[in-house]
Amino acid sequence: MIPMSYYLLLAALLFGVGILGVLIRRNALVIFMSIELMLNAVNLTFITLSRYMGTLHGQICVFFVMTVAAAEVAVGLAVIMMIFRNRGTANVDEINLMKW
Amino acid sequence: MELSLFIVIGGITLISGLLVVFQKNPLYSALFLILTFLAMAGLYLLLAAEFIAIIQVIVYAGAVMVLFLFVIMLMNLDRERYAEAAGHRIQKFFGLAMVVIIVPLIGLGISTALLYSGSQLGAKGGQGLPAAQNASNAKAVASLLFTDYLLPFEITSVLLLAAMIGVVYLARREAKPDNAGPAQ
């Protein structure tokens, strides 16, 4: 058994990469993909702790996180498609009608 | 053996995650994200969570990413559209600075918790999950899901119905005035 902190460190790094993607990229689809990467990092943390504590509650939590993430992706992509249909661009810098 | 597998699969996950963020074409980002999800399913197999690994492949790599690819196809992004704007140096610098601050904080939080109760958290890991010795992972997860977590399960089904209705409403085309019918 390798130490638990290896998996937790990998999950933290993946979460950091997801944050980097959300903050740096300007395309709405790539931002959305980075959010999915962050959710997967959290899933990895849940399953690691479920394994090393000997219970299954972490895996149940991952089940629900996956379901909610799938529903969120469907709705979010529908919103992005509507914005693209109305504004003609997927660049989040150009969707600035509410900006002061 | 487990360490070498962890290094290979974890390395694939991390590098593929970095390539998701740093690709110019969003189609390539989506393909690298599929590779990330498959590598994470491999990590879940290393952690003896076979049911969750298969669900990860089916739901994330099989449904969510197919949805992403359909949207990328329908949005028909041109070369000029997905090129990033030139002047965002300060934004990228602050994004990188924020990640450089946050990830060590998370790492510090992980190691501090392990420092204080490390013996407790590490002791049970040696014998594996108690329910996994005489039942498959799917059976053990199901026996917990349909007894203790029945209410969240039913609420999740209502959530999926609401999401489906919302998406069907959001993605419909508006009725145009000249589509009123042949009898004019």
ipTM score assigned to the predicted complex:
0.93
Report whether A43 contacts B126 (CB < 8 A). Answer: no
The pLDDT of residue B87 is above 70? no
Please report the residues numbered 52 through 71 in chain A whose beta carbons come closer than 8 angstroms to any beta carbon of chain B. Answer: 52-57, 59-60, 62-64, 66-71
pLDDT at B42: 96
Residue-averaged pLDDT of chain B: 82
Quick check: A76 contacting B, CB < 8 Å? no
Report whether B45 contacts B53 (CB < 8 A). Answer: yes
Q: Which of B156, B153, B137, B136 is nearest to B145 (CA)?
A: B153
The domain spans of chain A are 4-89
pLDDT at B115: 55
pLDDT at A29: 93
Q: Which of the listed CATH numbers 3.30.559.10, 1.10.287.3510, 3.30.499.10, 2.40.50.140 matches domain A4-89?
A: 1.10.287.3510
Please report the residues numbered 46 through 65 in chain B whose beta carbons come closer than 8 angstroms to any beta carbon of chain A. Answer: 47-49, 51-52, 55-56, 59-60, 63-64
Entry pTM: 0.86
Residue of higher predicted confidence among A15 and B91: A15
pLDDT at B182: 54
